Amino acid sequence: MRSIRPAPLTAEAFAPFGDLLDASGAHRLINAGLCRRHHDRAALDFGPGGRAGISIFLAEPRALPYSFDLIERHPEGSQAFLPMTEHPFLVIVAPGPEAVPLAFLTDGTQGINLHRGTWHGVLTPLSAPGRFAVVDRIGSTPNLEEYRYSQPWTVLAP
């Protein structure tokens, strides 16, 4: 069995694949000092001929250990996942189909923005409801490539 263990999601560890979206670090006060704005947290990229779209995803929850044999990427634009509940979810990324994938576990308050072309697993909530706002490219050109591993990978419990 090919297995990996998830690591906690940190900005530094996730940087080669995308942006960590959370409410930590530098901010400025707005709304008469009643709101902290953590400004410009992601490099959204919708490519030529694309535009930003916001969709709502409702994904079936999974459990650890979790086996997968499919990764995908979006060559035309970035893709951000913003959980609409405070439940952790699993993030799987890979430098390429031939590389060992990495798994990260969010802390329940984090979202992610995957850079354009980043190989990643499917949306993997670990609790119901698996509701996410997703900001990604809307356009007329194909924006999905899939790769199936010949042998599945299993993400073990941390």
- pLDDT tens-digit series, residues 54-73: 999 999 999 999 999 999 99
What are 89-127's pLDDT values in tens digits? 999 999 999 999 999 999 999 999 999 999 999 999 999
Half-sphere exposure of 136 (CA within 13 A, CB side): 25
For position 58, what pLDDT does the model report?
A: 97
Coil/strand/helix, residue 28: strand
Tell me what percent of the residues of the chain surpass a pLDDT of 90. Answer: 99
pLDDT of residue 50: 95
Q: Which residues contact 107 (CB under 8 A, 6 or more apart)?
A: 8, 9, 88
Task: Quote the mean pLDDT of the chain.
Answer: 97
Any idea how long the chain is?
Answer: 158
Distant-in-sequence, close-in-space partners of 142: CB < 8 Å, separation ≥ 6:
76
Q: What is the pLDDT of residue 120?
A: 98
Residue by residue, what is the 3-state secondary structure of 146-158?
Answer: EEEEEEEEEECCC
pLDDT at 9: 98
Asked whether the predicted pLDDT for residue 43 surpasses 90, the reply is yes
pTM of the model as a whole? 0.94
Residue 17 backbone dihedrals phi, psi, to 5 degrees = -110, -25
Confidence bin at 29 (pLDDT 50/70/90): very high
CA distances from 148 to 1, 98, 141, 151 (A): 16, 11, 22, 8
The 10s digit of each residue's pLDDT in 30-42 is 999 999 999 999 9
Predicted pLDDT at 1: 83
Cα separation of 105 and 74, whole Å? 22
